[in-house]
Amino acid sequence: MARRAEPTPRVVPVRAMVSTVEFSTAEHPMTEQCPSEDSEPIRTCVGCRSRVARSHLLRIVVVGGELLPDVRRRMHGRGAHVHPDLACVELAERRKAFPRALRVAGPLGLKQVRAHLEQYPRNTGG
């Protein structure tokens, strides 16, 4: 009986989840504004999924399970972008787009966002 030492292959479990590859939305406050024109970052509305200039969208952050409108875009953490329109916000809520975009477990409160949108109705002027 020859005992052959079998080289035990070290199987490293690959757990890399590459199913949802997305562009990094990390925003570094140190990033200098590029002076070139028409270089405004494009963001996708989590409601209607249309891609528009970031300034047309409202940044939403989550604080303690409550969604908050980040009007000045200065709050830390992940942000979700949505049209400042209740229709898009509600659409995003139905699709559970906020928890997905913000990488947190839902459900998330929308009271602050609703209040914000009711206080500042959509600006239709161009």
Residues that bind Zn ion (CB under 5 A): 45, 47-48, 83, 88
Report CA-CA distances (Å) from 59 to 9, 20, 62.
49, 21, 10
CA atoms within 13 A on the CB side of 28: 5
67 phi and psi, to 5 degrees?
Answer: -80, 135
Least distance between Zn ion and beta carbon 115 (Å):
19
Q: Which is nearer to Zn ion, 40 or 65 (CB)?
A: 40
Separation CA 121–CA 124 (nearest Å): 9
Q: Which is nearer to Zn ion, 42 or 65 (CB)?
A: 42
Separation CA 59–CA 80 (nearest Å): 6
Q: Which is nearer to Zn ion, 76 or 96 (CB)?
A: 96
Least distance between Zn ion and beta carbon 50 (Å):
6
Least distance between Zn ion and beta carbon 89 (Å):
9
Q: Which is nearer to Zn ion, 45 or 62 (CB)?
A: 45
Least distance between Zn ion and beta carbon 18 (Å):
28
